[in-house]
Amino acid sequence: MKCDFDKLWLYLNNKLDSKAQMEILEHLSKCEVCCQAICQVARDHEADLFIQGRQKQNTGSQAPPESD
Protein backbone atom coordinates (compact mmCIF):
# COMPACT_ATOMS: atom_id res chain seq x y z
CA MET A 1 0.00 0.00 0.00
CA LYS A 2 1.20 3.50 -0.81
CA CYS A 3 0.74 6.39 1.58
CA ASP A 4 -2.89 7.53 1.31
CA PHE A 5 -4.08 10.31 3.62
CA ASP A 6 -7.70 9.82 2.54
CA LYS A 7 -7.60 6.19 3.70
CA LEU A 8 -5.98 7.23 6.96
CA TRP A 9 -8.82 9.70 7.53
CA LEU A 10 -11.39 6.99 6.76
CA TYR A 11 -9.61 4.67 9.17
CA LEU A 12 -9.73 7.24 11.97
CA ASN A 13 -13.44 7.71 11.39
CA ASN A 14 -14.21 3.96 11.33
CA LYS A 15 -15.35 4.11 7.71
CA LEU A 16 -13.28 1.17 6.38
CA ASP A 17 -14.13 -2.50 6.22
CA SER A 18 -12.00 -4.94 8.22
CA LYS A 19 -9.75 -5.81 5.25
CA ALA A 20 -8.95 -2.15 4.59
CA GLN A 21 -8.36 -1.57 8.31
CA MET A 22 -5.82 -4.40 8.35
CA GLU A 23 -4.06 -2.90 5.32
CA ILE A 24 -3.82 0.44 7.11
CA LEU A 25 -2.48 -1.17 10.28
CA GLU A 26 0.12 -3.09 8.30
CA HIS A 27 1.15 0.08 6.47
CA LEU A 28 1.37 2.03 9.73
CA SER A 29 3.69 -0.60 11.18
CA LYS A 30 6.14 0.11 8.33
CA CYS A 31 5.65 3.81 7.52
CA GLU A 32 6.85 6.36 10.06
CA VAL A 33 5.45 9.30 8.06
CA CYS A 34 1.89 7.95 8.05
CA CYS A 35 2.19 6.82 11.66
CA GLN A 36 3.15 10.34 12.72
CA ALA A 37 0.44 11.86 10.52
CA ILE A 38 -2.33 9.70 11.95
CA CYS A 39 -1.15 10.39 15.50
CA GLN A 40 -1.17 14.14 14.87
CA VAL A 41 -4.65 14.05 13.34
CA ALA A 42 -5.92 12.00 16.28
CA ARG A 43 -4.37 14.45 18.79
CA ASP A 44 -5.87 17.42 16.94
CA HIS A 45 -9.29 15.75 16.89
CA GLU A 46 -9.13 14.98 20.61
CA ALA A 47 -8.05 18.57 21.33
CA ASP A 48 -11.00 19.90 19.32
CA LEU A 49 -13.40 17.67 21.26
CA PHE A 50 -11.86 18.80 24.55
CA ILE A 51 -12.19 22.48 23.61
CA GLN A 52 -15.80 22.00 22.50
CA GLY A 53 -16.60 20.25 25.78
CA ARG A 54 -15.00 23.03 27.82
CA GLN A 55 -16.91 25.66 25.84
CA LYS A 56 -20.19 23.87 26.57
CA GLN A 57 -19.33 23.67 30.27
CA ASN A 58 -18.38 27.34 30.40
CA THR A 59 -21.52 28.41 28.54
CA GLY A 60 -23.74 26.54 30.98
CA SER A 61 -22.01 27.79 34.12
CA GLN A 62 -21.61 31.47 33.32
CA ALA A 63 -23.70 33.95 35.20
CA PRO A 64 -26.03 36.05 33.06
CA PRO A 65 -24.73 39.51 32.20
CA GLU A 66 -25.73 42.26 34.60
CA SER A 67 -28.15 44.85 33.31
CA ASP A 68 -27.57 48.54 33.93
**pLDDT at residue 29 above 60?**
yes
CB 41 within 8 A of CB 8: yes
DSSP code of residue 65? P
Q: Are 34 and 3 contacting, i.e. CB atoms less than 8 angstroms apart?
A: yes
12 belongs to a structural domain = yes
Half-sphere exposure for 62 (CA within 13 Å, toward CB): 9
38 assigned to some structural domain: yes
Q: Is residue 24 part of a domain?
A: yes
CA–CA separation, 15 and 27 (whole Å): 17
Domain span at residue 14 reads 5-55
Reported as a pLDDT band with limits 50, 70 and 90, residue 67 is low
Specify if 16 maps to a domain.
Answer: yes
- Is 68 contained in some domain? no
Mean pLDDT, residues 13-31: 94
Task: Report the predicted TM-score, pTM, of the whole model to 2 decimal places.
Answer: 0.63
58 vs 38: CA distance, rounded Å:
30
Whether 61 is in a domain gets the answer: no
- Tally the domains of the chain: 1
Note whether residue 67 is domain-resident: no
